[in-house]
Amino acid sequence: MRYSSSLEKSRTLISKDMYLSFKSLISFGIPSAAMACLEWWSFEILILLSGLLPNSKLETSVLSICLTTTSFHFFVPYSIGAAASTRVSNELGAGNPAGARAVLSVAVVLTIAEAAVASTALLCCRYILGYAYSNDRQVSEEKAFGLDYLQGPQYKQHC
């Protein structure tokens, strides 16, 4: 980039303004990174604390399976939101607010549909899904009991 003549206009000198705005970048960046880390670490800490419960091997297995299932179903609406955000930005940048509204409507419908399908799948497969993670009958039965509680919030989380 330094020696390319086609990128001559994009090259700039390092200015004092860059260093002045670095403080605001850090003031937003560090708390944001801390929140993201704490969100993921809370799942790990919860699994470690489940080891203190009676019958800790069973409880840790069930909690780990429930958190894995919840995390898996979180990424589908998150992906829809990320794609919709990019499309809305493109539509607004092109001066097309009607297109941005249409993209938003499609994203909402897709997210609600995914929530309904995911909740229905969890409800219908609650006795089978535990065997995907463990051959132990007790783990599978506890997982089915845990999915009854996961299914409701799963639907509400996406809406």
d(CA 49, CA 95): 52
69-102 tens-digit pLDDT: 778 888 888 899 999 999 999 999 999 999 999 9
Average pLDDT of the chain to the nearest whole number: 81
Domain limits, the chain: 15-50, 55-158
What pTM, to 2 d.p., does this model score? 0.62
Spell out the residues 6+ positions from residue 66 whose beta carbon is closer than 8 angstroms to its own.
Answer: 143, 146, 147, 150
Count Cβ atoms within 10 A of the Cβ of residue 95 and give its class: 0-12 exposed, 13-18 middle, 19 or more buried: exposed
4-32 tens-digit pLDDT: 777 677 766 677 777 778 888 888 999 99
- Residue 129's closest CA among 144, 149, 145? 144
